[in-house]
Structure 1
Amino acid sequence: MKDIEGGMMACGLCADPGRFVVETRPMPDAAPPGWALVDIAAIGICGTDYHIFEGKHPFLAYPRVIGHELSGHIVSGPDAGQLVVVNPYLSCGQCRACRRGKPNCCSAIEVLGVHRDGGMCARIAVPRRNLYPADGLTAQQAAMVEFLAIGAHAVARSGAGQGDVVLVTGAGPIGLGTALFARLAGAEVHLTDRSLSRLTLAQTLCGFDRLHGPDLPPLTGALSEGFDFVFDATGNAHAIEAGFPLLAHGGSAVLVSVVKDDITFSDSEFHKREARIIGSRNALKSDFERVMAAMRSGQISADALISQVVALADLPVRFPALVADRESIVKVLVTP
């Protein structure tokens, strides 16, 4: 991508729903004050990118350069050449959420690859505060930190830990990340998904063995009192609503995924349980650092989660098949 003559670079973008193309654009050679240029090393494809391709993303204007799961090398300055993970959530730094240390839910947040062009290109300018050193990781491992940080953040927000019984609904990449960090926190983790392929991947790649198909068995025996935490990573309103009756008394429903629909539940059952609903959005710097520490220590095997590595030049042909086959893959990485 980077050796195109005349300061041009290849960029991967969704031109319209169902049409992914690679086109050339000028390569940035300067960054605003407080920002840095980053040469992209690897890009992860996530559910958001699939939704953009399918025309299902509610907050996106086409054409859009996609890509927000990013690793790369800083171009210049005292840290030139440093491998970094890119935090793709650009916050304003001034709203109430930002002032209270919650830039992940900034009221004016912009996400790379969604609200503005992302990193499926050779070089991008990013605020320096959004760059985290990835010492000890490979470029491909570093590109997977962001999606795992989503789950790490959800678990941290929930307070789930030793002795808790947890159900994660949705065994895609975000659900797997949530399950991994719930397990690291000491919880007993169960997973459910309508896709047996995803459940098989959760078992073979990550060692989860408390697996349930789309029709959960009756809550009997050790599970008769329900789950202390139900994390939803499905993006499906019906699945979210089906999780409320599974809560134990004193339990919490953690909404990791987001839906446009209204969510309903029985108020009397909710109050009887003194339940909580917790929204979890994006991730904080501390979550990124927690993920990288888990990778370095070997508690999380990022390499095991790589399903395919695709060259950007091949992606226009490959993208439709990846969308159709995403239940049988965990993480696809795109490289220059």
Structure 2
Amino acid sequence: MRALFYTGTQQSEIRETPDPVAVDGEAHVDVSYCGICGSDMHAWHGHDPRRVPPMILGHEAVGIARAGQYAGKRVAINPLMTCGSCRHCLSGDDHLCAERDLIGMFKAGAYAEQVVVAERNLYPLADEISDEDAALAEPLAVCVHAVEIARKTLRRPVSESRCVVLGGGAIGVLTAMVLADQGAKDLWIAEPNALRREVLEKACAVKAYDPAQGGPAEKSADLVIDCVGAPVTRKAASGLVMPGGTIVHVGLQEAGEGLDTRYFTLQEITFAGTYCYTRYDFAAALQLLTRGLVGNREWIEVRPLEQGAQSFVDIHEGNAPPKIILKMG
């Protein structure tokens, strides 16, 4: 089969490779589409020691199951693999499983014509949802989970809160969509890339702004969701959040400084980390997509697998929309 291999720091190429082999409990999926995630970019930049080249990245995938209970059906892939038997898995917090793994991390991912994944991680698709939209289920599940954590900690409903999203990539725009779906009206996205800002306001009811040129007033946000996770965005979140407000940290770009913990303590700021999603969040994301959460698609570009290597370069150089999805066939 053909696959896009991450071959070294800022390097990738199409290669022919043997078809993957399934073991008991696993299913072959003929991949139709797979989105490029920020974590894939992080690996491509050589910043993720867990993803060792040469390897096939990619985990935001949809395709057709070859065998098993979903044979011949379109399925979305939940790429998060867990043990299924620990206290976290049994309580519904499977994303906290100590044995969690992700396809495209240690196990071959989905920038390929085929991928193998546990059959329990397959979700059949309703007729109303397109393959392209279904490829957004995984990143959308991240956003559903983050917004649910925010909702539980906010002192007022989302509909009455000023909400600021830091980062206008796919996670940022999908987070804004989930917030808007829950009634947010005073909704902002900080995005320094002019190309992305052009399409963000068309994607959903949000005010897109360049953080270097202004934006919401200091200490004015009930909720700040950091979809970047860098020192500069953590500092921005500390400056934007009002007394009694909430910061939800989604991005994983860089560890380190940026948080004003003295202010957090004196003004009772809630700071919550969030990672991945539960299986319930993934199912909820598919339901949102099925009922048409993603309307305007100008922020999404579908490219053939052959353009995968160049797509990583384009994202790196800031010459890409918020989301690129690779088509395998």
With the length of structure 2 as denominator, give the TM-score of the two structures.
0.89
The CA deviation string for residues 278-329 of structure 1, in whole angstroms up to 9 with x for no partner, is 111112222222222222222322744422x22223434x245423444541
Superposed, 1:46-61 pairs within 5 Å as 46-61=37-52
User: Take 2:98 and 2:43, find their aligned partners in 1: how far apart are those partners?
Assistant: 22
- The reply on whether 1:202 has 2:200 as its aligned counterpart is yes
Would you say how many aligned residue pairs link Structure 1 and Structure 2? 321
The Cα shift of 1:277 comes to 0.8
Q: Runs of 4+ in structure 1 displaced over 4 angstroms?
A: none
After superposition, give the CA deviation of every residue in 1:35-89 in whole Å (9 maximum; x if it has no partner).
2111111111122222222223243211110111100111113421111110111
User: Which residue of 1 is the match for residue 32 of structure 2?
Assistant: 41
1:280 paired to 2:290: no
Deviates more, 1:32-41 or 1:326-335: 326-335
Contact (CA 8 Å) 2:176, 2:204: kept in 1 or not?
no
| Equivalent position amino acid for 2:269 in 1 | A
* Compared CA separation, residues 165 and 275, structure 1 to 2 (3 A): same
Instruction: After superposition, give the CA deviation of every residue in 1:188-239 in whole Å (9 maximum; x if it has no partner).
Output: 311112223222221123342x23322364865xxx7521111001231121
Secondary structure in 1 aligned to 2:199? Answer: helix
CA shift in 2, pair 1:177/1:219, >3 Å: closer
Number of the residue aligned with 1:300? 294
Q: Out of 92, 108, 115, which is 1:124 matched to?
A: 115
Query: 1:175 — aligned with what?
Result: 172
Contact 2:230 2:253 in 1 (8 A): yes
Provide the rounded CA distance (Å) in 1 between the counterparts of 2:289 and 2:216: 35
Conserved in 2, the CA contact under 8 Å of 1:43 and 1:334?
Answer: yes
Distance 2:316 2:121 in 1: 33
Distance 1:320-1:288 versus aligned 2 partners, 3 A rule: closer
Confirm whether residue 258 of structure 1 aligns to residue 252 of structure 2. Answer: yes
The amino acid that maps onto 2:193 is S
Where do 5+ consecutive residues of structure 2 fail to align? none
Check if 1:97 corresponds to 2:94.
Answer: no
Within the candidate set 7, 23, 28, 1:32 is matched to 23
Q: Does 1:226 align with 2:220?
A: yes
Q: Paired residue for 1:313?
A: 306
SS at match of 1:293: helix
The question of whether the paired residues in 2 share the 8 Å contact of 1:141 and 1:303 is answered with no
CA–CA distance in structure 1, aligned partners of residues 215 and 188 of structure 2: 14
Q: Tell me if structure 2 keeps the 8 A contact 1:12–1:23.
A: yes
In the alignment, which of 62, 82, 106 is matched to residue 53 of structure 2?
62
Question: Given the superposition, is the C-alpha separation of residues 112 and 322 from structure 1 closer, same or farther in structure 2, using an over 3 Å criterion?
Answer: same
Match of 2:211 in 1: 214
Aligned-residue sequence identity (percent) comes to 26
How many Å separate the matches in 1 of 2:214 and 2:314? 32
Q: Distance in 2 between matches of 1:126 and 1:236?
A: 32
What is the CA–CA distance in structure 1 between the aligned matches of 2:297 and 2:233, rounded to whole Å? 30
What SS does structure 2 have at the residue aligned with 1:162? helix
Secondary structure of the residue that 1:194 maps to in structure 2? coil
Report the Cα distance in structure 2 between the residues aligned to 1:77 and 1:211, rounded to whole angstroms: 45
Is 43-52 or 248-257 further displaced after alignment? 43-52
**Runs (5+) with no aligned partner, structure 1:** 1-8
With normalisation by structure 1, the TM-score equals 0.87
Amino acid at match of 1:61: V
